[in-house]
Amino acid sequence: MNRVNFAQPDITLMLDWEGVIREAALSSAIPTEEVGDWVGHPWTDTVGDAGGDWISRMLDDARNRGVSAFRQVRQRFPSGLELPIEYTTVRLGAGAGLIAVGKNLQAVAELQSRLIATQQAREQDYWKLREIETRSRLLFDASNEAVLVVEAESLRVIEANPAAIRALGLAPGWEFLREVAPRDEEAFRGMLRRAREQGRAPGILVHLGAERASWLVRATLMTRDPGPVFLLQLANAGTDTQSAARGTLLRVEEMLERLPDAFIVTDQDGTVRRANKAFLELVQVATEAGALGQSAGRWLARPGSGLGVLLASLHDHGEVRLFPTVITGEVGLEAEVEISAASTGIGPSRAIGMVIRDVGRRIDDRDGRSPLRDAIGEIEKDIGTTPLPALVRRTAAALERHCIERALALADGNRTATAELLGLSRQSLYAKLGRYGFHAGLDEDAEQTG
């Protein structure tokens, strides 16, 4: 046999060679059932309709091989009760017939049923929790009140809703304590100690940021993996003059939101703090919350004219005009753009404003054509008469010449700046300039005067 025998079978059936029941006995585990009526009837007649085939297979196995595999059937008792019984059938020696022994699986079936019910309940609880989390996230993002989640130990910002990023310029990763005025630091720490002890603390007046604006800050301690966090709620507590100024700022915000060109405000590292509707459409992000806290470099895709080059130019000159690059949206669509940007502030409080204009419709010359398009058009005429590798080389050369020409124009002929824009060494650039015949058109003094 391929399984340990039953120590005490719940049902024992003595069968003749044809599978007719000659004797039947029940253990004390099924005490109230009477099975005398089974005697003289085929075993297959005492089980559910689906169990007859299994009984026939067990009888054939026992007759041919001496023992059958274990099979589960629905055993129907004379009283109408049906129980799941697991049987095996054994051939007796000297032609004495067969014996079938069975174990009641009702307890196992009940456990399985309870397990399934428990799993379904856990799944329902999981989806309820997900629904609560989704609602909390929507409220967090839609709240007009600035809300921050900070680590309890380091006070580093973990999450910031759009209102907090717009009003305070605080993005995830920033240390909140650095924004608190030194005179308010002790009172702020005392509020946090009280929140640790009691779970929450009433608000106190704190001055934040380089402007030392007045904010009413409330703290609540929350449990979170891997460690506790503080939920900070901030309400502006400025004077009437500040309220009037905020009214003006709100009108400016409305105008920026309706601006047809994309507009963003970033910190010194290029992390987005504010984005208008036109920018969200350009980068194919559904809501402002999906852009805030992200690096602008996520969408600036052109090599040699990405975010790093733009920030370096801003650092050197304080402003950038008509910086050409490509914006790649979330679903992969690209747009030729020009960026004008300016920065203000010093150190961590530095902010950068960028106006991003889609120029895809006017990248051609005024006559409606472009040199690059004309060059590619000439190459297309040779399709069918020129091998593909040669066409590819000519296309790559035309594109390379066009990029160098655009970079030279942007750098006003300064070859060092042109090499930086293209991500080339000066020696490599000089070689390419000679290859495409640009030397004659360059101002020899451009490097010194540029």
The domain spans of the chain are 11-104, 143-238, 243-362, 371-449
Residues 6+ apart with CB under 8 A from 298: none
CA 261 – CA 51 distance, rounded (Å): 75
Q: Quick check: 289 pLDDT over 70?
A: yes
pLDDT of residue 444: 46
User: Average pLDDT in the 290-316 region?
Assistant: 79
pLDDT of residue 314: 82
Q: Quick check: 420 pLDDT over 60?
A: yes
What is the DSSP annotation of 105-170?
-HHHHHHHHHHHHHHHHHHHHHHHHHHHHHHHHHHHHH-SSEEEEEETTT-BEEEE-HHHHHHH--
| pLDDT range class, residue 244, cuts 50, 70, 90 | very low
Among the listed ranges 250-254, 369-373, 424-428, 443-447, which one has the minimum average pLDDT value?
443-447
Token pair 């014996």: residue = 99
pLDDT of residue 215: 85
E strand or H helix that includes residue 396: helix 388-410
Q: Quick check: 284 pLDDT over 80?
A: yes
pLDDT of residue 345: 64
According to DSSP, residue 381 is labeled T
**Topology of domain 11-104, per CATH?**
Beta-Lactamase (3.30.450)
Q: What is the mean pLDDT of the chain?
A: 79
pLDDT of residue 337: 85
Residue type present at position 56: S
Q: Quick check: 51 pLDDT over 70?
A: yes
Q: Quick check: 411 pLDDT over 60?
A: yes
Among the listed ranges 10-14, 240-244, 308-312, 334-338, which one has the minimum average pLDDT value?
240-244
Among the listed ranges 140-149, 173-182, 212-221, 332-341, which one has the minimum average pLDDT value?
140-149
| pLDDT range class, residue 303, cuts 50, 70, 90 | low
Do 11-104 and 143-238 share a fold?
Answer: yes
- Contact (Cβ atoms closer than 8 angstroms) between residue 315 and residue 303: no
pLDDT of residue 252: 64
Name the CATH superfamily housing domain 143-238: PAS domain (3.30.450.20)
Q: Which CATH number fits domain 243-362: 1.10.3720.10, 3.40.50.300, 3.30.450.20, 1.20.960.40?
A: 3.30.450.20
| pLDDT range class, residue 6, cuts 50, 70, 90 | very low
Distances 335 to 90, 282, 310, 376 between C-alpha atoms, Å: 79, 8, 17, 20
On the CB side of 80, CA atoms within 13 Å amount to 0
User: Average pLDDT in the 229-258 region?
Assistant: 65
pLDDT of residue 346: 59
On the CB side of 255, CA atoms within 13 Å amount to 6
Give the model confidence (pLDDT) of 113-172 as tens digits: 888 888 888 888 888 877 776 776 666 666 677 888 888 888 888 888 887 777 777 767
- Residue 387 phi, psi (nearest 5): -60, 150
Peptide bond into 226 cis (omega under 30): yes
Q: Quick check: 13 pLDDT over 80?
A: yes
Q: In terms of C-beta distances under 8 Å and separation of at least 24 residues, what long-range contacts does 434-442 make, across chains too?
A: 436/400, 436/401, 436/404, 438/404, 438/405, 438/408, 442/408, 442/413, 442/415
User: Average pLDDT in the 173-191 region?
Assistant: 85
User: Average pLDDT in the 6-34 region?
Assistant: 83
| pLDDT range class, residue 238, cuts 50, 70, 90 | low
E strand or H helix that includes residue 249: helix 240-258
Give the model confidence (pLDDT) of 349-374 as tens digits: 678 888 988 887 554 444 445 677 77
CA 179 – CA 172 distance, rounded (Å): 14
CA 320 – CA 356 distance, rounded (Å): 12
Q: Quick check: 417 pLDDT over 80?
A: yes
User: Average pLDDT in the 264-274 region?
Assistant: 84
CA 98 – CA 20 distance, rounded (Å): 10
pLDDT winner (highest mean) among 96-100, 206-210, 297-301, 315-319: 96-100
CA 216 – CA 81 distance, rounded (Å): 71
pLDDT of residue 348: 59
Residue type present at position 231: L
Supply the pTM of this predicted model. 0.37
- Residue 173 phi, psi (nearest 5): 105, -20
Is 208 exposed, middle or buried (CB count within 10 Å of its CB: 0-12, 13-18, 19+)? buried
Q: Quick check: 45 pLDDT over 90?
A: no
| Radius of gyration for the alpha carbons in the chain, expressed in angstroms and rounded | 40
pLDDT of residue 445: 42
Residue type present at position 172: P
